[in-house]
């Protein structure tokens, strides 16, 4: 190659120089392909590292969001005295600010039983008392002993009768 490059005009068509130039071109092409492959390998490893970093960041965001959601849920449940669910998904009440049912004390024997309320569904406005006028509201009401029947059925009958009569 040194001899062929000294006088290019004379050695342009010399078979040895032509072969040497072709060999150099092949070697350069091979080296360029190797360099390109190495560059692609480095680029692919960088892309893989970037993907891993992005996946780790997404996982960290997901975990932070889950932790935030659990913290908010725990704060909400703490208002009611309930611990947040564990891995077993059970709720365990905390001793303290728990809402409890109030059980009335037992009636002594021979005492009057507590009133029983009729839970049967009624038509809308059927058992609503008519509105009082200002005069009626100003008059004192009778004590319970003088109020008349206390049976729920008789009260309903009285209300129906008043509605039918159109008077109060």
pLDDT of 31-81, one tens digit each? 999 999 999 999 999 999 999 999 999 999 999 999 999 999 988 888 887
User: Over 90: is that where the pLDDT of 112 sits?
Assistant: no
Where are the domains positioned within the chain? Answer: 2-78, 122-168
| Global pTM value | 0.36
User: Mean pLDDT of all residues in the chain?
Assistant: 75
Judge whether residue 142 has pLDDT over 60: no
pLDDT at 9: 83
Task: Tell whether the model's pLDDT for residue 146 goes beyond 90.
Answer: no
- Confidence class of residue 87 from pLDDT cuts 50, 70 and 90? low
- Cα(85)–Cα(13) distance, rounded to whole angstroms? 88
Burial of 42 (0-12, 13-18, 19+ CB in 10 A): exposed
8 A C-beta contact, residue 4 and residue 16: yes
Share of the chain above pLDDT 90, in %: 32
């Amino acid at each position: 190659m040194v001899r062929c490059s000294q006088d290019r005009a004379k050695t342009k068509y010399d078979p040895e120089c032509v072969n040497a130039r072709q060999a150099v071109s092949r070697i350069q092409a091979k080296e360029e392909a190797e360099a390109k492959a190495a560059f692609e390998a480095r680029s692919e490893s960088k892309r893989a590292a970037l993907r891993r970093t992005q996946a780790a960041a997404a996982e960290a965001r997901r975990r932070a969001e889950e932790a935030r959601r659990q913290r908010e849920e725990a704060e909400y449940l703490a208002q009611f005295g309930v611990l947040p669910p564990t891995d077993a998904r059970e709720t365990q009440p905390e001793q303290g600010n728990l809402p409890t049912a109030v059980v009335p004390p037992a009636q002594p024997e021979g005492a009057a039983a507590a009133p029983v309320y009729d839970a049967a569904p009624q038509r809308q406005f059927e058992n609503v008392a008519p509105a009082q006028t200002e005069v009626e509201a100003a008059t004192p009401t009778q004590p319970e002993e003088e109020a008349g029947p206390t049976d729920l059925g008789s009260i309903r009958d009285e209300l129906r009768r008043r509605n039918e009569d159109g008077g109060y």
